[in-house]
Chains A and B, each alone.
Chain A
């Protein structure tokens, strides 16, 4: 397909030279939900060299309304999002090397990946991970693009180490959550608007057109017809612990991390064991069946249900406990079954 990128190379700021740059770059996508699906599809079609996608979740029916890479078949198979995304993206553009990682974007994992990536795109649903991305970005001098949305409201900001303020300059701390997808819902156009802003900035970074970057923080409401930019010329904090004169990268240290997380909008608690020794899923399925659980599975995970207890267990020992937001209750079920 020799003319595959012709319309993109006709665009003067990209051109043939820009296309070669895009081809030589490696992008790390953190999350493969709504924003991850949209961002990954645009960059795969644009012909990025390599795309690494990390996600801890699997595809569910309530994702299909906005998460554009997934199908009803992925729901029926309960495929992990990273695996389903990989399959779809390879079908879209076989030139692009897709690396799918099923798991949590922990600071350790991000440090492992950081060496070889040119750009990080934020498609997560929580500020704990974003603050870790922000510290990794500063420590390894990798640009990253914040994006987030809820209901009809979305926002994006591009962080270039050494040039712009960072997320820690703007927020100072992990914000108290206001409205979440639990209460506010989310519509497809909000996702697409955030994706459009993130991917436009991504293409500028990949072709190294630094002057074209939008330096302002943008936020918008696609239902109320607001579009607001906030200039950032006074926002950089010289004392910032992430990007200031004496950085300590606070969100890479252990005390800023939880092993138990309530997942936004899911009525679900995730449990991540501290030591990753792996679980024998077949053996576990046998044990659960003996306890009366209804068990289904695939090579990546098993799902089990007994009365009000519903959970999914991944091979790395991670579990999603459904039907609860109570961390203690979730931990208790986990330890009852896995010790």
Chain B
């Protein structure tokens, strides 16, 4: 299983701080599509992804037990 964490407005949209999903073998891009579909997230494409607190590109492959976090960049100043 994998823990998926949502930050900022993604958490409000998903209605959860984190969820458990089985994502081993999928790429980050796959995971974004799957999670956006399940939780109705509109803007996940723009979010940065961390795997085990390390920045990850869309091509990286998830391993069993990895913790995935979606961090949306914001622009206010």
Contacts and interface: CB of A to CB of B under 8 A. Distances in A.
A36 B76 CA distance: 11
Contacts of A235: 55, 57
A127 B75 CA distance: 6
A217 B73 CA distance: 11
Interface residues of B, number: 25
A153 B69 contact: no
Contact of B75 (A125, A151, A232, A234): A125
A123 B9 CA distance: 21
Contacts, number: 113
A148 B50 CA distance: 19
A230 B76 contact: no
B9 A179 contact: yes
Interface string B48-77: 101001111100000000000101111111
Given A148-B74, A186-B76, A176 B54 contact: no
Given A229-B53, A230-B54, A235-B55, A153 B8 contact: yes
7 contacts: A34-B77, A153-B9, A175-B75, A178-B8, A178-B74, A226-B7, A234-B55
Interface of B: 7-12, 42-43, 45-46, 48, 50, 53-57, 69, 71-77
Given A171-B46, A217-B71, A264-B75, 5 more contacts: A33-B77, A124-B75, A177-B43, A178-B10, A180-B75
